[in-house]
Structure 1
Amino acid sequence: MKAAGRIRGIVNSGLGTPGSVRHSLAVLGTGAVATEVLLALADGAAAAATGLALITAVALALGRYAAGGGARDSGDRKPVRLLDSRAPALGGWQRIVADTFADDGEAHFDAVMRPQLRRLFAARLAERHGVAMYRNPQRARALVGAELWPWIDPEAPPPQPALPEPVLRSLLDRLEAL
Protein backbone atom coordinates (compact mmCIF):
# COMPACT_ATOMS: atom_id res chain seq x y z
CA MET A 1 0.00 0.00 0.00
CA LYS A 2 2.86 2.35 0.74
CA ALA A 3 4.30 1.84 -2.75
CA ALA A 4 1.00 2.79 -4.37
CA GLY A 5 0.88 5.95 -2.26
CA ARG A 6 4.43 6.84 -3.27
CA ILE A 7 3.68 6.30 -6.95
CA ARG A 8 0.56 8.42 -6.64
CA GLY A 9 2.62 11.13 -4.93
CA ILE A 10 5.23 11.04 -7.70
CA VAL A 11 2.61 11.15 -10.46
CA ASN A 12 0.66 13.98 -8.79
CA SER A 13 3.66 16.10 -7.83
CA GLY A 14 3.74 19.20 -10.01
CA LEU A 15 1.80 17.59 -12.86
CA GLY A 16 -1.46 19.42 -12.54
CA THR A 17 -4.68 18.53 -10.83
CA PRO A 18 -6.20 15.11 -11.44
CA GLY A 19 -8.40 15.22 -14.51
CA SER A 20 -6.42 17.98 -16.24
CA VAL A 21 -4.84 17.37 -19.63
CA ARG A 22 -1.35 17.69 -18.18
CA HIS A 23 -2.10 15.17 -15.45
CA SER A 24 -3.73 12.74 -17.89
CA LEU A 25 -0.75 12.91 -20.25
CA ALA A 26 1.65 12.34 -17.35
CA VAL A 27 -0.26 9.28 -16.16
CA LEU A 28 -0.50 7.87 -19.70
CA GLY A 29 3.20 8.54 -20.29
CA THR A 30 4.15 6.86 -17.03
CA GLY A 31 2.00 3.86 -17.95
CA ALA A 32 3.59 3.65 -21.40
CA VAL A 33 7.13 3.74 -19.97
CA ALA A 34 6.23 1.12 -17.36
CA THR A 35 4.73 -1.10 -20.06
CA GLU A 36 7.87 -0.77 -22.18
CA VAL A 37 10.12 -1.68 -19.25
CA LEU A 38 7.99 -4.72 -18.42
CA LEU A 39 7.96 -5.86 -22.05
CA ALA A 40 11.74 -5.50 -22.30
CA LEU A 41 12.31 -7.42 -19.05
CA ALA A 42 9.78 -10.17 -19.78
CA ASP A 43 10.18 -10.80 -23.52
CA GLY A 44 13.23 -8.92 -24.71
CA ALA A 45 14.01 -6.18 -27.17
CA ALA A 46 11.70 -7.46 -29.94
CA ALA A 47 8.64 -7.27 -27.69
CA ALA A 48 9.68 -3.82 -26.44
CA ALA A 49 10.06 -2.56 -30.04
CA THR A 50 6.63 -3.93 -30.96
CA GLY A 51 5.09 -2.33 -27.88
CA LEU A 52 6.74 0.99 -28.68
CA ALA A 53 5.36 0.91 -32.23
CA LEU A 54 1.87 0.12 -30.95
CA ILE A 55 1.98 2.84 -28.28
CA THR A 56 3.23 5.38 -30.85
CA ALA A 57 0.44 4.50 -33.30
CA VAL A 58 -2.25 4.81 -30.62
CA ALA A 59 -0.79 8.11 -29.37
CA LEU A 60 -0.75 9.56 -32.91
CA ALA A 61 -4.34 8.45 -33.58
CA LEU A 62 -5.58 9.90 -30.28
CA GLY A 63 -3.66 13.13 -30.84
CA ARG A 64 -5.10 13.53 -34.31
CA TYR A 65 -8.61 12.91 -33.05
CA ALA A 66 -8.18 15.34 -30.16
CA ALA A 67 -6.87 17.99 -32.56
CA GLY A 68 -10.02 17.62 -34.68
CA GLY A 69 -8.59 15.73 -37.65
CA GLY A 70 -11.68 13.54 -37.80
CA ALA A 71 -13.93 16.58 -38.08
CA ARG A 72 -12.09 17.94 -41.09
CA ASP A 73 -11.59 14.98 -43.35
CA SER A 74 -13.29 11.72 -42.41
CA GLY A 75 -16.78 12.89 -41.52
CA ASP A 76 -16.94 10.80 -38.34
CA ARG A 77 -18.39 13.70 -36.39
CA LYS A 78 -21.79 14.96 -37.46
CA PRO A 79 -21.80 18.51 -38.88
CA VAL A 80 -24.14 21.04 -37.34
CA ARG A 81 -27.02 21.62 -39.74
CA LEU A 82 -28.67 25.02 -39.45
CA LEU A 83 -30.48 24.84 -42.77
CA ASP A 84 -32.27 22.15 -44.76
CA SER A 85 -29.55 21.77 -47.39
CA ARG A 86 -26.14 23.09 -48.34
CA ALA A 87 -25.09 26.48 -47.10
CA PRO A 88 -26.42 29.39 -49.14
CA ALA A 89 -23.89 31.15 -51.31
CA LEU A 90 -23.91 33.99 -53.81
CA GLY A 91 -22.25 32.04 -56.63
CA GLY A 92 -24.50 31.67 -59.64
CA TRP A 93 -26.95 34.39 -58.60
CA GLN A 94 -26.68 36.23 -61.93
CA ARG A 95 -27.89 33.08 -63.70
CA ILE A 96 -30.63 32.45 -61.12
CA VAL A 97 -31.96 36.00 -61.44
CA ALA A 98 -31.74 35.94 -65.24
CA ASP A 99 -33.62 32.63 -65.41
CA THR A 100 -36.27 33.90 -63.00
CA PHE A 101 -36.97 36.97 -65.15
CA ALA A 102 -36.92 35.02 -68.43
CA ASP A 103 -40.10 34.24 -70.38
CA ASP A 104 -40.65 30.92 -68.62
CA GLY A 105 -39.43 32.21 -65.26
CA GLU A 106 -42.49 31.25 -63.21
CA ALA A 107 -41.35 27.64 -62.80
CA HIS A 108 -37.78 28.75 -62.11
CA PHE A 109 -38.95 31.19 -59.45
CA ASP A 110 -40.90 28.48 -57.65
CA ALA A 111 -38.23 25.77 -57.98
CA VAL A 112 -34.99 27.73 -57.58
CA MET A 113 -35.26 31.41 -56.66
CA ARG A 114 -37.82 31.14 -53.86
CA PRO A 115 -35.99 28.29 -52.05
CA GLN A 116 -32.70 30.20 -52.35
CA LEU A 117 -34.28 33.34 -50.91
CA ARG A 118 -35.72 31.27 -48.06
CA ARG A 119 -32.30 29.79 -47.28
CA LEU A 120 -30.67 33.21 -47.26
CA PHE A 121 -33.36 34.68 -45.02
CA ALA A 122 -33.25 31.64 -42.71
CA ALA A 123 -29.48 31.95 -42.39
CA ARG A 124 -29.60 35.69 -41.73
CA LEU A 125 -32.43 35.40 -39.19
CA ALA A 126 -30.63 32.58 -37.35
CA GLU A 127 -27.24 34.28 -37.47
CA ARG A 128 -28.19 37.82 -36.51
CA HIS A 129 -31.42 37.42 -34.55
CA GLY A 130 -31.41 33.84 -33.24
CA VAL A 131 -34.73 33.12 -34.93
CA ALA A 132 -35.41 29.77 -36.62
CA MET A 133 -37.54 30.77 -39.59
CA TYR A 134 -39.16 27.34 -40.01
CA ARG A 135 -39.85 26.81 -36.29
CA ASN A 136 -40.94 30.34 -35.43
CA PRO A 137 -42.55 31.83 -38.54
CA GLN A 138 -44.45 34.51 -36.59
CA ARG A 139 -41.24 36.03 -35.23
CA ALA A 140 -39.56 35.71 -38.64
CA ARG A 141 -42.53 37.45 -40.28
CA ALA A 142 -42.26 40.32 -37.80
CA LEU A 143 -38.57 40.77 -38.60
CA VAL A 144 -38.89 40.43 -42.38
CA GLY A 145 -42.03 42.56 -42.67
CA ALA A 146 -45.61 41.68 -43.50
CA GLU A 147 -45.38 43.06 -47.05
CA LEU A 148 -42.38 40.84 -48.02
CA TRP A 149 -43.08 37.75 -45.92
CA PRO A 150 -45.58 36.15 -48.37
CA TRP A 151 -42.78 35.89 -50.97
CA ILE A 152 -40.66 33.67 -48.73
CA ASP A 153 -43.31 32.13 -46.44
CA PRO A 154 -42.45 28.41 -46.18
CA GLU A 155 -46.06 27.46 -45.40
CA ALA A 156 -47.91 29.31 -48.20
CA PRO A 157 -47.66 29.77 -51.96
CA PRO A 158 -46.32 33.09 -53.29
CA PRO A 159 -48.80 35.94 -53.87
CA GLN A 160 -48.09 35.84 -57.63
CA PRO A 161 -46.65 33.09 -59.83
CA ALA A 162 -43.86 35.39 -61.04
CA LEU A 163 -41.54 37.55 -58.97
CA PRO A 164 -41.65 41.24 -59.95
CA GLU A 165 -38.25 42.93 -60.10
CA PRO A 166 -39.15 45.65 -57.53
CA VAL A 167 -40.14 42.93 -55.06
CA LEU A 168 -36.82 41.16 -55.58
CA ARG A 169 -34.99 44.45 -54.96
CA SER A 170 -37.03 44.99 -51.78
CA LEU A 171 -36.33 41.45 -50.59
CA LEU A 172 -32.59 41.86 -51.12
CA ASP A 173 -32.58 45.27 -49.44
CA ARG A 174 -34.42 43.80 -46.45
CA LEU A 175 -32.05 40.83 -46.33
CA GLU A 176 -29.12 43.21 -46.25
CA ALA A 177 -30.74 45.32 -43.54
CA LEU A 178 -31.43 42.35 -41.28
Structure 2
Amino acid sequence: MKRLMQEPGSVRHSLTVLGTVAVTAVVLLGLADGAAAAATGLALITVVALAVVRYVAGADSQDSGYRKSVRLLGGQRLAVGDWQLIVRRTLGEDAEIHFGTTMRPQLQRLFAARLAEVHGVELHRDPRRAAALVGPDLWPWIDPQAGPPQPVLTEQVLRTLLDRLETLSTARPLPRHDQAQ
Protein backbone atom coordinates (compact mmCIF):
# COMPACT_ATOMS: atom_id res chain seq x y z
CA MET A 1 0.00 0.00 0.00
CA LYS A 2 1.36 3.42 -0.95
CA ARG A 3 1.81 5.94 1.75
CA LEU A 4 -0.35 9.02 1.36
CA MET A 5 2.32 11.43 2.58
CA GLN A 6 5.26 12.32 0.44
CA GLU A 7 8.87 12.19 1.56
CA PRO A 8 9.83 14.56 4.39
CA GLY A 9 11.00 17.86 2.94
CA SER A 10 8.71 17.77 -0.08
CA VAL A 11 6.27 20.61 -0.65
CA ARG A 12 3.29 18.35 -0.06
CA HIS A 13 4.73 17.06 3.22
CA SER A 14 5.61 20.58 4.39
CA LEU A 15 2.13 21.89 3.60
CA THR A 16 0.53 18.96 5.39
CA VAL A 17 2.62 19.52 8.53
CA LEU A 18 2.04 23.28 8.50
CA GLY A 19 -1.71 22.82 7.96
CA THR A 20 -1.91 20.34 10.81
CA VAL A 21 0.00 22.68 13.14
CA ALA A 22 -2.24 25.63 12.17
CA VAL A 23 -5.48 23.71 12.74
CA THR A 24 -4.18 22.35 16.04
CA ALA A 25 -3.17 25.85 17.18
CA VAL A 26 -6.61 27.28 16.36
CA VAL A 27 -8.39 24.41 18.14
CA LEU A 28 -6.17 24.81 21.23
CA LEU A 29 -6.78 28.56 21.26
CA GLY A 30 -10.51 27.91 21.06
CA LEU A 31 -10.42 25.38 23.91
CA ALA A 32 -8.20 27.53 26.13
CA ASP A 33 -9.58 31.03 25.57
CA GLY A 34 -12.82 30.67 23.61
CA ALA A 35 -14.13 31.48 20.16
CA ALA A 36 -12.71 35.03 20.06
CA ALA A 37 -9.16 33.76 20.60
CA ALA A 38 -9.66 31.02 17.99
CA ALA A 39 -10.94 33.57 15.46
CA THR A 40 -8.00 35.87 16.16
CA GLY A 41 -5.55 32.98 15.80
CA LEU A 42 -7.18 31.90 12.53
CA ALA A 43 -7.00 35.45 11.20
CA LEU A 44 -3.34 35.75 12.15
CA ILE A 45 -2.45 32.39 10.60
CA THR A 46 -4.35 33.35 7.41
CA VAL A 47 -2.50 36.67 7.10
CA VAL A 48 0.89 35.01 7.59
CA ALA A 49 0.03 32.26 5.10
CA LEU A 50 -1.08 34.81 2.48
CA ALA A 51 2.09 36.84 3.00
CA VAL A 52 4.24 33.74 2.54
CA VAL A 53 2.32 32.68 -0.59
CA ARG A 54 2.63 36.18 -2.07
CA TYR A 55 6.34 36.24 -1.36
CA VAL A 56 6.96 32.81 -2.86
CA ALA A 57 4.64 33.09 -5.87
CA GLY A 58 5.09 36.76 -6.72
CA ALA A 59 8.45 37.75 -5.37
CA ASP A 60 9.30 39.70 -8.50
CA SER A 61 6.20 41.87 -8.06
CA GLN A 62 8.03 43.74 -5.31
CA ASP A 63 10.17 45.65 -7.79
CA SER A 64 7.28 47.44 -9.52
CA GLY A 65 7.35 45.10 -12.50
CA TYR A 66 10.78 46.18 -13.73
CA ARG A 67 12.26 42.71 -13.40
CA LYS A 68 10.01 41.31 -16.12
CA SER A 69 10.86 44.03 -18.60
CA VAL A 70 14.57 43.77 -17.86
CA ARG A 71 14.72 40.00 -18.00
CA LEU A 72 17.72 39.58 -20.24
CA LEU A 73 17.33 36.09 -21.58
CA GLY A 74 14.42 33.68 -21.52
CA GLY A 75 14.33 30.61 -19.36
CA GLN A 76 15.52 28.36 -22.15
CA ARG A 77 18.54 29.18 -24.26
CA LEU A 78 18.15 28.94 -27.98
CA ALA A 79 20.30 26.44 -29.78
CA VAL A 80 22.01 27.18 -33.09
CA GLY A 81 19.31 25.24 -34.94
CA ASP A 82 16.64 27.37 -33.28
CA TRP A 83 18.35 30.53 -34.48
CA GLN A 84 18.61 29.16 -38.00
CA LEU A 85 14.87 28.50 -37.99
CA ILE A 86 14.09 31.95 -36.56
CA VAL A 87 16.22 33.68 -39.21
CA ARG A 88 14.77 31.57 -42.02
CA ARG A 89 11.21 32.36 -40.94
CA THR A 90 11.99 36.05 -40.40
CA LEU A 91 13.32 36.35 -43.92
CA GLY A 92 10.70 34.00 -45.42
CA GLU A 93 7.04 34.19 -46.46
CA ASP A 94 5.44 35.14 -43.13
CA ALA A 95 8.27 37.51 -42.33
CA GLU A 96 6.08 40.28 -40.91
CA ILE A 97 4.39 38.05 -38.35
CA HIS A 98 7.55 36.19 -37.40
CA PHE A 99 9.65 39.34 -37.09
CA GLY A 100 7.19 40.96 -34.69
CA THR A 101 6.52 37.91 -32.54
CA THR A 102 9.88 36.14 -32.45
CA MET A 103 12.89 37.86 -34.00
CA ARG A 104 12.39 41.38 -32.62
CA PRO A 105 11.89 40.22 -29.00
CA GLN A 106 14.96 37.97 -29.31
CA LEU A 107 17.04 40.85 -30.69
CA GLN A 108 15.81 43.08 -27.87
CA ARG A 109 16.86 40.47 -25.32
CA LEU A 110 20.29 40.06 -26.88
CA PHE A 111 20.88 43.82 -27.02
CA ALA A 112 19.58 44.22 -23.46
CA ALA A 113 21.97 41.53 -22.25
CA ARG A 114 24.97 43.00 -24.09
CA LEU A 115 24.23 46.58 -22.99
CA ALA A 116 23.78 45.54 -19.37
CA GLU A 117 26.76 43.21 -19.31
CA VAL A 118 29.32 45.40 -21.03
CA HIS A 119 28.06 48.94 -20.52
CA GLY A 120 25.87 48.76 -17.42
CA VAL A 121 22.94 50.22 -19.37
CA GLU A 122 19.46 48.78 -19.05
CA LEU A 123 17.56 48.88 -22.32
CA HIS A 124 14.15 49.48 -20.73
CA ARG A 125 15.16 51.83 -17.92
CA ASP A 126 17.63 54.02 -19.78
CA PRO A 127 16.56 54.01 -23.43
CA ARG A 128 18.41 57.25 -24.28
CA ARG A 129 21.80 55.80 -23.33
CA ALA A 130 20.91 52.51 -25.00
CA ALA A 131 19.92 54.35 -28.18
CA ALA A 132 23.19 56.28 -28.14
CA LEU A 133 25.17 53.05 -27.83
CA VAL A 134 23.21 51.15 -30.47
CA GLY A 135 23.13 54.06 -32.90
CA PRO A 136 20.29 56.13 -34.35
CA ASP A 137 20.06 54.08 -37.54
CA LEU A 138 19.57 50.74 -35.74
CA TRP A 139 17.79 51.81 -32.55
CA PRO A 140 14.29 51.94 -34.11
CA TRP A 141 14.56 48.23 -34.92
CA ILE A 142 14.94 47.28 -31.25
CA ASP A 143 13.32 50.24 -29.43
CA PRO A 144 11.02 48.61 -26.84
CA GLN A 145 8.87 51.75 -26.57
CA ALA A 146 8.00 51.99 -30.26
CA GLY A 147 7.23 49.76 -33.20
CA PRO A 148 9.83 48.92 -35.82
CA PRO A 149 10.38 51.37 -38.70
CA GLN A 150 9.21 48.73 -41.20
CA PRO A 151 7.08 45.62 -40.67
CA VAL A 152 9.67 43.36 -42.31
CA LEU A 153 13.33 42.96 -41.42
CA THR A 154 15.66 42.70 -44.40
CA GLU A 155 18.72 40.50 -44.45
CA GLN A 156 20.99 43.54 -44.70
CA VAL A 157 19.43 45.17 -41.62
CA LEU A 158 19.68 41.89 -39.71
CA ARG A 159 23.36 41.58 -40.60
CA THR A 160 23.96 45.18 -39.53
CA LEU A 161 22.15 44.61 -36.22
CA LEU A 162 24.20 41.49 -35.50
CA ASP A 163 27.42 43.28 -36.44
CA ARG A 164 26.50 46.11 -34.08
CA LEU A 165 25.68 43.62 -31.35
CA GLU A 166 29.15 42.15 -31.79
CA THR A 167 30.89 45.54 -31.72
CA LEU A 168 29.05 46.48 -28.52
CA SER A 169 31.17 43.92 -26.69
CA THR A 170 34.35 45.84 -27.48
CA ALA A 171 33.03 49.42 -27.59
CA ARG A 172 33.86 51.74 -24.72
CA PRO A 173 30.96 52.85 -22.49
CA LEU A 174 29.57 56.34 -22.98
CA PRO A 175 30.30 58.88 -20.25
CA ARG A 176 27.50 59.31 -17.67
CA HIS A 177 27.00 63.06 -18.36
CA ASP A 178 24.81 62.32 -21.42
CA GLN A 179 21.85 61.47 -19.13
CA ALA A 180 21.12 65.08 -18.30
CA GLN A 181 18.71 66.82 -20.59
Q: Normalised by the size of structure 2, how large is the TM-score?
A: 0.52
**1:177 equivalent in alignment to 2:177:** no
User: Residue 96 of structure 1 is aligned with which of 82, 86, 92?
Assistant: 86
Equivalent residue number for residue 41 of structure 2: none
Structure 1: gaps (5+ residues) = 1-74
Structure 2: gaps (5+ residues) = 1-55, 61-66, 169-181
8 Å Cα contact 2:72/2:113 also seen in 1: no
Aligned residue pair count? 103
Equivalent residue number for residue 129 of structure 2: 139
8 Å Cα contact 1:88/1:120 also seen in 2: no
Please show how residues 72-83 of structure 1 align to structure 2 within 5 Å: 83=71
Q: 1:88 to 1:133 in 2, by over 3 A?
A: farther
Q: 1:89 to 1:176 in 2, by over 3 A?
A: farther
8 Å Cα contact 2:90/2:103 also seen in 1: yes
8 Å Cα contact 2:121/2:129 also seen in 1: yes
Local SS of the residue matching 1:110:
helix
8 Å Cα contact 1:122/1:133 also seen in 2: yes
Equivalent residue number for residue 112 of structure 1: 102
Q: Normalised by the size of structure 1, how large is the TM-score?
A: 0.53
Matched residues in 1 for 2:165 and 2:106: separation?
12
The alpha-carbon deviation at position 90 of structure 1 amounts to: 4.3
Equivalent residue number for residue 168 of structure 1: 158
8 Å Cα contact 1:88/1:119 also seen in 2: no
Please give the per-residue CA displacement for 1:109-149, whole angstroms capped at 9, x wherever unaligned. Answer: 00000000000000000000000100000000000000000
Local SS of the residue matching 2:98:
helix
User: Residue 122 of structure 1 is aligned with which of 108, 112, 132?
Assistant: 112
The alpha-carbon deviation at position 105 of structure 1 amounts to: 1.1
Deviation >3 Å, runs of 4+: 78-82, 87-90
The alpha-carbon deviation at position 89 of structure 1 amounts to: 3.7
Give the superposed CA RMSD. Answer: 2.3
Matched residues in 1 for 2:162 and 2:137: separation?
13
Please give the per-residue CA displacement for 1:20-69, whole angstroms capped at 9, x wherever unaligned. Answer: xxxxxxxxxxxxxxxxxxxxxxxxxxxxxxxxxxxxxxxxxxxxxxxxxx
8 Å Cα contact 1:131/1:140 also seen in 2: yes
The alpha-carbon deviation at position 85 of structure 1 amounts to: 5.8
Local SS of the residue matching 1:146:
coil
Looking at CA atoms only, which structure, 1 or 2, has the larger radius of gyration? 1
Equivalent residue number for residue 86 of structure 1: 74
**Larger relative contact order (Cα-Cα within 8 Å, sequence gap ≥ 6):** 2
